[in-house]
Amino acid sequence: MHQHLFFDKPICTIDFETTGLSHANGDRAIEIGMVRLEPDGTLIKWSSLINPKTKIPRLSQSIHGIDDQMVFNAPEFTDLYPQINSLLHDAHLIAHNAEFDVGFLAHECLISQLPVPKYDLVFDTLMFARHVFGLPRCNLITVSERFGIPVNNAHRALHDAYHTHLIFVNMVKALKESIQVQNTTELKELCRQSMNTKEVSAKQALTIQDSINEQYCLEVYYVSGDPSRPLIQRRVVQPIHSDGYRVLVYCHLRQAERSLRLNRILQMHGPCEAS
């Protein structure tokens, strides 16, 4: 099995470039990029322009650089479906803002009167960046840069699909090494819990207040927003005060007071010994 992942099934990252932002308003897919990683480490990259049978608005052209002439002789979605279906078959689907890409996939299948390919679980790197890692800006370029991935040709389907793939692999690796997320079920549960912000905040508030009252240390795994620092850091801290957004702590690693953003704390455990 690939050393960075723990999936018993392939993962397949997908990205669409489109004529606009809403298939409900008649927008169509004009390019697809897909990256499939097998459990043995085999990597498959594939992309194609798509003839949408409609004009591409100039505003959209200015974003991805795809014009009407480029797609004039491109295959239609129906022609590409067998390859799309093959790459997604029995795989976990990965996307950055998955609602967008899954929505366009389903819409194009509906127009072509074809069944939506049968993939397994969906993992959204946008949701992970926002809710699990608590990053301040979560567009694909910013998240790529935070994970040390150079951005060269953004807003083309294969480029964005591959970058999303790399982001996801690095996210999984970081979570596995820091807080010992061991399998697909635990990964989905971590994301579910992180998105339930009221529940998370309530648990954090109780743990922090108890630590303050009883004067004991907490072990925290904290996501740094600074690209020059490791993504996830283990710290042993003594909470001093919390306003519900940040917590002021004494950090034993740095031997100084620090302010930590609560939404960047992946986990906290206590009591623990100062170290």
Between 189 and 151, the higher pLDDT residue: 189
pLDDT at 4: 47
Residue 246 structure tokens: 């940040």
pLDDT at 148: 87
pLDDT at 5: 57
Average pLDDT over residues 230-235: 92
- Annotated catalytic residue within 2, 159, 163, 269: 159
Measured distance CA(14)–CA(32) in Å, rounded: 7
Contact by Cβ (8 Å): 193, 200 = yes
Q: Which of 45, 50, 43, 42 is nearest to 34 (CA)?
A: 45
Distances in Å between the Cα of 259 and the Cα atoms of 70, 132, 183 are: 51, 19, 32
pLDDT at 3: 46
Model pTM score: 0.91
pLDDT at 150: 85
pLDDT at 116: 98
- Is 241 assigned a catalytic role? no
Average pLDDT over residues 202-231: 91
Tell me the residue type at 73: N
Residue-wise pLDDT tens digits, 238-253: 999 999 899 999 998 8
Residue-wise pLDDT tens digits, 6-43: 677 999 999 999 999 999 999 999 999 999 999 889 99
Average pLDDT over residues 76-85: 98
pLDDT at 234: 92
